[in-house]
Amino acid sequence: MKQLLLAAGMFALGAGSVAAQDQVPDWSGLYVGFFGGAAEGDALYANIANSTRYEGDIAGALFGARAGYRYQFSHVVLGVSASAAVANIDGRGTDGVDSANYDVSWLATVDAQLGLSADRLLIYGVAGGALVGLQHDYDSIASFDVSYSRRTHAGYSIGGGVEYAFSDNVSAWLEARYFDFGKKTFQQVADVIPHTLDTKFDTVTIGLNIKF
């Protein structure tokens, strides 16, 4: 994650110096793109009755595709987009005895974007709704181990990025986001106490867009 953040900073500085020499193409239009990156955050499994907590770090990679539309007037760029990604984001939390395991397998977003263009450089903020496919297990030495089925969790995402246009139709971008899927309640299964699951993580992604 730190390496991707450093790369994002170097990308922004390099693209900014080049952008000062050229005139930008219009950002308006339909586009599709592909991206990859890393995620890092935490998940909290908490028993409702006795307040036992199993909090652990989650981390991994994601790869996906994005499609959207932008409209530019003056230096302001407005846009909407949707993205979908496969993911391998997992981790484990423990109280020192028992544990909970977490596995995120996919991620999808629908977003609104507001940006400012500076020649070939676009700096933007993004916010929207998000869905994630999350499966988790509970491993206990005193009762039954339980594996919960994969479940779709809804939440939100906010972030920002920088994009550089190499030509009228091809651009590359770096983006950082925060995802929050809130607290979800799971009922008792076998001998396991009803519990909540709270999942949050950050992502840094790099992508390539083609505009039509």
The pLDDT, as a whole number, for residue 207 is: 98
Confidence check: pLDDT of 163 > 60 = yes
Tokens of 13: 């500085």
- Of 50-54, 86-90, 97-101, 187-191, give the range with the top mean pLDDT: 86-90
The pLDDT, as a whole number, for residue 16 is: 46
**Any residues with CB less than 8 A from the CB of 61 and at least 6 apart, and which?**
36, 37, 38, 39, 87, 88, 89
Cα separation, 144 vs 125, in Å, equals 46
Paired with 34 in beta bridges are: 65, 208
Name the residue with higher pLDDT: 55 or 86. 86
- The 10s digit of each residue's pLDDT in 60-72 is 999 999 999 999 9
Give the structural domain span for 128. Answer: 2-211
The pLDDT, as a whole number, for residue 97 is: 83
- The 10s digit of each residue's pLDDT in 192-203 is 678 899 999 999
The pLDDT, as a whole number, for residue 189 is: 66
Q: What is the CATH number of the domain that holds 92?
A: 2.40.160.20
The pLDDT, as a whole number, for residue 191 is: 59
Number of domains in the chain: 1
Mean pLDDT of the chain: 87
Candidate from 121-135, 156-170, 176-190 with smallest mean pLDDT: 176-190
Confidence check: pLDDT of 20 > 50 = no
Confidence check: pLDDT of 186 > 80 = yes
201 closest CA partner among 182, 185, 186:
182
- The 10s digit of each residue's pLDDT in 26-43 is 999 999 999 999 999 999
Long-range contacts: 49-54, Cβ < 8 Å, 24+? 49/193, 49/194, 50/193, 52/95, 52/98, 52/193, 53/93, 53/95, 54/93, 54/94, 54/95, 54/98, 54/99, 54/100, 54/138
Confidence check: pLDDT of 13 > 70 = no
